[in-house]
Amino acid sequence: MNSIKFIRIVYLVTCCRVPIIIGLMHLYVHFDELMGDAIKQYLLKEFIVLSQWQPLWYTWGMTSFMMGIGFVIIGLLHSISFMGLVKREPPSIALLLTGLLYYLGVLYSGILFKQSFQLYGGFICVNLLLYSVVFMVMKNKVSASTT
């Protein structure tokens, strides 16, 4: 397998498919398991947000829901970008960097909140995308020097 094909597969999997799957799984868990009466009752505790008392449920529930939707949209936007590529064309460095930034956030959250899935998944995807970015930068330098 050549490097361009490998980079296309890495981009398709890490930037297009995985965020959609993670977002849909997050929404499923949000509505299936986290909407139960016991959790809602617990999250009715109030705290101050922007100088107003609010139930934790409003802030946490909205954040959780929007995070799932956001992941799906990130994956869809990358999928649209991927569909716009000519056959055998690699994704741009900008697209790869966007995916890399996303997974640096995933890796950081895995470290900060001691979550092994985010830690290991983020680590693997950061390395795959970092390889892709470095390869594309080197390829562009070689192309520029030969013209």
Return the pLDDT at 147: 67
Q: What is the mean pLDDT of each run of 10 residues along the chain (147 residues)?
A: 92 97 92 79 85 86 91 98 95 97 96 94 97 93 78
* Entry pTM: 0.86
Instruction: Using DSSP bridges, classify how beta strands 52-55 and 46-49 pair: parallel, antiparallel or unpaired.
Output: antiparallel
